[in-house]
Chain A
Amino acid sequence: MAKKISILIVDDEESVRDSLYNWFIEDGYRVECAENAKKALIMLESDQFDIILADIKMPGMDGLEMLRRIKAFRKESIVIVMTAFATVDTAVKALKDGAFDYVTKPFDPDDLTHLIRNATKQISLVEENETLKKHVVSLESVEDLIGNSEGMKNVLREVESVAQTNSSVIITGESGTGKELVARAIHANSPRKFFPFVSVHCGALTESLLESELFGHEKGAFTGAMYNRKGRFEMADSGSIFLDEIATISTKMQVELLRVLESKTFIRVGGNKEISSDFRVICATNRDLKHMVEKGLFREDLFYRLNVVNIHIPPLRERIEDIPLLVEYFISKYCTTMNKPMVTIDPAAMKRLQEFNFPGNIRELENMIERAIVVGDGKKIRMKDLPLEKTIVTTTAESLDDFEKSFILQILSKYNWNISRTAKALKVDRVTLYHKIKKYDLKPADQQ
């Protein structure tokens, strides 16, 4: 038993209280007794019990009145009523008033065992449900959006303020900046959080497929449509729908989408029945939608319908101060998932990561860390574990000299300052490399 279940026995007969007490104590429960309803209610004010087993017929306040009072201040309490004089009326009354079960004394030992087992199962289901809800929320909460930079703080502020509304949101940002994560955070912090979050990748589907995906289809609507199928709008009822890469949808789909957003009703492909669904729309794009509107590539009315709130996620290169936090987060994430001991990162490797421009943004950083954990020595992520050499653009290169300096340093680091190997990789002789090191005053990271 993970948690010790507590039971309160309320009965005016001492022999009944003693019998039940002995029975439950042998099962490892925490058991307390009260000889009347009044005493039980006093005990319940200062102590919580998972299960209350109460007799109906007691002098003073009877079990049914006590049940009503308990339910009034602690609705989730599990109350089982017992009686020596079973009538259908009292049973119905007790169950209507919220009793978990109703038993007639004396009962079979096996019935008592089952009764308590069912009650404890109910308790664990409720607890499990609560834990799962908390887990789902924490998985997709704003806290999962990592960043301490001013840019990310703005995003977090916007997410929190927009989450409580029902407004449409467009999330903009380069590929890999975490647009879907922001969309999920909006959903997870909204009153719709316990309803579905449905994600559609518009760019990955052809026009006809997207239509069927969004609106659903009726059996026989097209070749291969063997069964009726719910569309994503229908699935997102009471929740949120996330339309990724919204800029890629065709003009025809833009018209359809506008109509659905205005009426919140649609018809399945091949169907004739109007279906309504209550959903919130969150879109994302890495393109400049306003520019597309000016060029006539995206409908202006749809743009304004979607662009009630715009959240822009800055690229990673504009918030390099977030890189250490993100690295730490991904190390923890992947070491846990791969069941490996936690690794650290070499300061030189971290410095190089902060110099890198990350065209693929956070997704690229995440992949790098995942790979480094797989190929690394299991203790520390070093420069050699990071595939940084293929990208030679640095954020600090403002001249050819800067570029050369940075590039040579990068290759030197890759070969752990082995001059011969670095010279070979750079296709220059060792003397030239020494000249360059002297010229740019290059030093290993740990000597800087």
Chain B
Amino acid sequence: MNLQNITLISFGYFERDFLEKTAEAVQHEFQYAVNIKEGHIDLSEYYDPARRQYNGNMLLKQVDTFTFPESVKIIGLFNVDLFIPILTFIFGQALLGGRTGIASLYRFSNERYGMTGNDQIQLDRFKKMVIHELGHTFGMTHCHTPTCVMRSSTYVEDLDQKEQHFCIHCRPRLEKTF
């Protein structure tokens, strides 16, 4: 096990159990210890009233200012609707080969799509998104393998199609970066 760790910082309310399960999946996939922290920022500063969404670019920059000495990577976890100026929404984003990423739970619940709620599906989607963004911070680009966690997902259905693991092509590339 690596002495350095990955930090997941939650902004806003998250169930403890939900975060622990996410951390467990991250630890399993990256073989780094995972810290769960709580962060506090005034989200209203990042709110765009015209779009009624939160600016993902600005939030990413803000999360990148947080420092944890032993953390190689930091992922900010949100429960608000994120956007970037050019796109109508994003599930998350990261600095490719950088230190920081963000992911939001907001669009992962079935209820938003007029379907019966399912906590497990929501958790699975979130785990995949966090692992995906962390993958980017390790320099991984999108993969075309349908089940690979690094496959690009623009709909929640895309997230459901893939697994929370790196495929046989991405895994060795990822391990080279450790």
Contact = CB atoms under 8 A, between A and B. Distances in A.
Our verdict on whether A and B bind, yes or no, reads yes
Interface of A: 1, 13, 15-16, 18-20, 22-23, 25-28, 82, 105-110, 112-113
Contacts of B89: 108-109
Contacts of A110: 154-155
Contact of A19 (B87, B142, B155): B87
Nearest to B53: A106
A28 B143 CA distance: 9
The DSSP consensus for interface residues of chain A is helix
B106 to A, nearest CB: 14
Contact of A16 (B83, B86, B94): B86
Contacts of A15: 57, 84-85
A284 B135 CA distance: 66
Contacts of B87: 19, 23, 106-109, 112
B141 interface: yes
Given A26-B142, A28-B141, A28-B142, A107 B86 contact: yes
Nearest to A113: B154
A105 B141 contact: no
Contacts of B136: 26
A106 B85 CA distance: 7
B173 to A, nearest CB: 12
16 contacts: A1-B144, A15-B85, A18-B57, A19-B57, A19-B84, A22-B93, A23-B84, A23-B87, A26-B93, A26-B142, A27-B152, A28-B142, A106-B83, A106-B88, A107-B86, A110-B154
Contacts of B93: 22-23, 26
Contacts of B90: 109
With a 10 A CB-CB cut-off, give which of A1, A15, A106, A112 has the most chain B CB atoms: A106
A441 to B, nearest CB: 68
Interface in B39-84: 57, 83-84
Contacts of A106: 83, 85-88
Given A26-B136, A28-B142, A19 B85 contact: yes
Nearest to B135: A26
Contact of A108 (B142, B144, B152, B154): B154
